[in-house]
Chain A
Amino acid sequence: MLKCRTMWRRLAPLTRASSTLCRQNTRRAVLNNERSPALVPLARMSSEAPAGGNENKIYFLLVGAACLGGGIYAYRTIKGDKDRYNDRLEEIASRPNKSAPDQPETYLSTESPVEPAVETTEAAEPVVEAAPEEPDETAAAPVVESEPEPESPPEDLSEPPVVPAQSEPDTAAEPPSSEPTEQSPVVDSEPPPAAESPPAESSEPQSAAETESAAAEEPSAAPVTEPPAPAPLPVPPHAPYLLIGGGTASFAAARSIRARDPGARVLIVTDEWDLPYMRPPLSKELWFSDDPGVTDTLRFKQWNGKERSIYFQPPSFYVSPEELDKAENGGVAVLTGKKVVHMDVRGNKVRLSDNSEISYDKCLIATGGVPRNLQVIERAGEEVTKRTTLFRKVDDFKALEKVSREIKSITIIGGGFLGSELACALGRRSSEDGLEVVQMYPEKGNMGKVLPEYLSNWTTEKVKSEGVRVITEALVKNVSFDDGKVQIKLKDGRVVKTDHLVAAVGLEPSTELAKSAGLEVDSDFGGYRVNAELQARSNIWVAGDAACFYDIRLGRRRVEHHDHAVVSGRLAGENMTGANKPYWHQSMFWSDLGPDVGYEAIGIVDSSLPTVGVFAKATAKDTPRAAAEMSGTGIRSESETEAVARSPVASSTPPPAPLQQKDDYGKGVIFYLRDKVVVGIILWNVFNRMPIARKIIKDGEEHADLNEVAKLFNIHDD
């Protein structure tokens, strides 16, 4: 306050001069408007100099008003601070409550039920102390198990103190303490851990079993608090090997870990509800199945006629999460429907969407990605978005399969692998069901970013012959829903009317954990940045679509193919068990677009690179179908179905006439060069030569004449 005044006094001479003019103006204004002097102070608040000569008074009033304003602000802030502080404290206090679902109590409250059980508290203490001392869960189980046994009479109440005594904070909030009677139905709903519960009395094994299962893992409190409701999947508190994501890379890693570390306990956490499955058949084989119930069975025919499911393993392969710790030889458990939302690297633990926590020794992030969408579709409103499929998962396949039977026209936006494969798969239906299939993309031809232009054009013609209406160089400007049809307006003015959209415009890698885990995200390729051994940080590896890794041969890259998921998953699993091997075995990929076009590829296959293609004239022998039948290898989308449907093109006596005479790229090898070194190879309708291609890329040599290199492939042979 004093400072204000002194400052003001100092400034007063300066302001006087400037205020003279204002004073005169306002005096005139005041006199003109005949305002009462009482209103003048208000005008002063708006920093206008007052009329009249009571300058000191005016200054005092000004200063006073400023100080009053300041005081009001300060008071409000302090008051608000206090409120905020109280809110924060409440939030912190209530956080332990939320640590397990349906937990009304906190640490404090679990102790209160303990106190009534006075005689058991002392007995419970050694149990309480013993249990947290055991770092190993399996050791804890027997410890805890033995303790409650002698305390059989009050065992119901002694169990609860044992339960909260577990080192995991989540179990602490177990309200079995308050609801001992509910323990029986709880245990009934859970599969009783087989070997370790000695079935003495009816209540004892139940409570012992309950304790064991609580000791070994954490049965979520939900089953305890809601005995009549079915028990949700318990979340184990610790997993030696934790794999985040339940796709191909994760499964490959699980297998690798189990192979190398005997008795390993592997926990896969996935936000999908399905067990691990493979993706390629979702856009290929499943569409060509004759089985009308294919959307339920999800089985497809392989090359050898044998059927298999898209699931890597049936459910009996897996151990249930609550039994993981007790399984004698370990196993792989899958926790479905749970998303990891936070990762604490220093504490070696993760937090799930339901706020339960899992600690780990080694962790793999294999979260894959989510399909990208076009902004014009997102902004187009609900009528459009509900008619749009972003194709990635099993559910998307089921939904699209159903929709494709009900509508007249479907449009696929995107000309890459997924878009082209779906277009061909649906195009095949177009002849059967009268479905109009449109495919549109900004490139000049299918696989425009992968294949050199001449080959891309050739491929586009093949796709068209599958019954697809292809619109190239199509940039979608606007999408709307009018007249019961989805209207797609292109930049060049064309309009496409359709019933359903499929957006196949790329994959956005899922890197939500980067922030909490402190992991680097690559700005060029996306995904988590890892080294050549697929390691991101200590005890954290990343594999599959989400991994931007350093390839010793080809440089840093991120690959979104099935075989890469397998190779990288396996490598990550090896490294998690101490192998320290870099990414060395080059993964490959393949695609079939109809019965006549099939290729395998390896390395960097980018159409912007200079290419050298060496082709032979193709005969009817050189189709994916024929190749599969002859060599008996390979999973070819059409092979078995075509062979079954028509009298098979006898592989032993093919019709000798070649396909076409003009520039026909029937079969050959295409080399992709970077600084004169072959970095990528496509085997075009030439099969079973991938090892040679892999070797050439591995060598990384400059070859003067690539025709000579092409000779190694014997493209004319079969």
Chain B
Amino acid sequence: MGESSEDIDQMFSTLLGEMDLLTQSLGVDTLPPPDPNPPRAEFNYSVGFKDLNESLNALEDQDLEALMADLVADISEAEQRTIQAQKESSQNQHHSASLQASNVSGAAPLGHGTNVAATGISQYEDDLPPPPADPVLDLPLPPPPPEPLSQEEEEAQAKADKIKLALEKLKEAKVKKLVVKVHMDDNSTKSLMVDERQLARDVLDNLFEKTHCDCNVDWCLYEIYPELQIERFFEDHENVVEVLSDWTRDTENKVLFLQKEEKYAVFKNPQNFYLDNRGKKESKETNEKMNAKNKESLLEESFCGTSIIVPELEGALYLKEDGKKSWKRRYFLLRASGIYYVPKGKTKTSRDLACFIQFENVNIYYGTQHKMKYKAPTDYCFVLKHPQIQKESQYIKYLCCDDARTLNQWVMGIRIAKYGKTLYDNYQRAVAKAGLASRWTNLGTVNAAAPAQPSTGPINGTAQPNGQMPQAAHFVTAVLQEAQTHPETSKNSYVSHLISSQPETQVIIETTGLIFYPVNQPTFMQLRKGKLSRIRSQPSGTTRSQEYPGPAGPQVQPAPPRPVQRSWDTRGSPAMPPKAKGTGSGGFLVLPDDFLPPQPPPPPSPLDDPELPPPPPSRRGRQEASYAPPCQQARGINVHKQQMNKINE
């Protein structure tokens, strides 16, 4: 299976290359939007990609050649069609729609995964002429579908099931696919097949496999509008086809694959966004120094509560006036519900604020070189516009900040307000992916028996339904979930290999897991994603996932050495259970969801001293008392007397 899929994959990439050439020869970069105008059809080289995967599973090896023949046929056919389509006028729209429908009906209710390659040919919109008759003739023919249903009184249930199946097939057959040319950071391009259910995350994963890059979290899909001189990264949960279908046909827009550290900057240094004291340099320095644990608790506070916290952000920005060239300075405030400004002569209390824009229908973009283009006061501009707007318009809002730092804060703040917790989930998935990749490379060297190299694996995860993003509480579960969603559809995704065919890996995971449950570990073990990622990469002992800003070193015990550290676990707070429940598939060690302490343990120090603040002094006449956050009693007491003197002065 592994080998055959590899073959297929290679053949496929060659095919894709061919198609790429074709596209280039037509002189267009990417796919046009699904406007009802017919000439768009020229980019319809969509091949039943997902279905291919399915059929691979079903077919074993026998019919691969036939399939390939079909694919080639498809391509030449597509060529023909483009030519044909250019000649067609929109008149036959209705005609083609109905024809298409009936055509699909012939194949759809088969209930066999084997010969769907034909039905997988996606019709871009209704504007295409019907594809020629089913090319997959050498495959077993389907039983004529509706007859058994209408024949006699069957169980209503069975009927419903079949219909449902048929409808699902119908839906699948309608899946839209695009070939997207992605510009790499070395000026080369790669063409990718993107189906309409794929999220930016899936596309990134594809690209990771194609490019052998380090898979770190900074990699992103990036869209550039040369005409408007704006750009932005795709959020990982965004549907790529949906975004691209807003582009006009003659667009100069491009999709890039590059690293942008701004993408997840807030998760690496949350203090820069949440605790920023503007104008104070020393505080900035201390911010840089913030330790990993404080960062984590800050993130948890901001993103893991009942509702997320949008960074407090306000200040004067320049606003380009609608349709004019002048820029006006106004005082803006960011709230979870939108951007507001202070009207003239009003205060900045909530009741006086006027709404500037809400985020539902706009995306945020960076503006490049707007100083030149629009005479902006600085080059630190950001732009808010409806995703469908592609040309200059008075509905595009241009804002300009004083410096890069402010710009980044606004852009990130707006993204947090717009996407909320999804952003954090995306980040965690990205970290998981990066960690997985780094471990994979390690395993690849350690364990030469690994059957399939990830780099040559076929495009995986194509069947991931939209919006079904594992709400990964953390790392290992994220990986597992991902792995579990894949096996049915893409057996050769390398994630599932980890599970199904590599007992060695399991052992490693288990041992790393066991590291987490030392029997005598303290109660407040700061077990977080950081630690996980660190330990996950342990087996090789060489690489560590770079993304996580946690302290280095394999030790589990996060507490810095302290003189006063004693009797960690004597207070009966329930420690992490020493027993780990192995409930995952294949004997995986699955950490229970509630495993992580959801709330940050008491403030800064990991030192959890059981003897909490001094019992209230019971002698009369001592009129003061001292309190400290639970973990800090040692310090608290020491300072106590001095402190009191100070106060009593």
Q: Are A and B interaction partners?
A: no
Residues of B within 8 A of A (CB): none
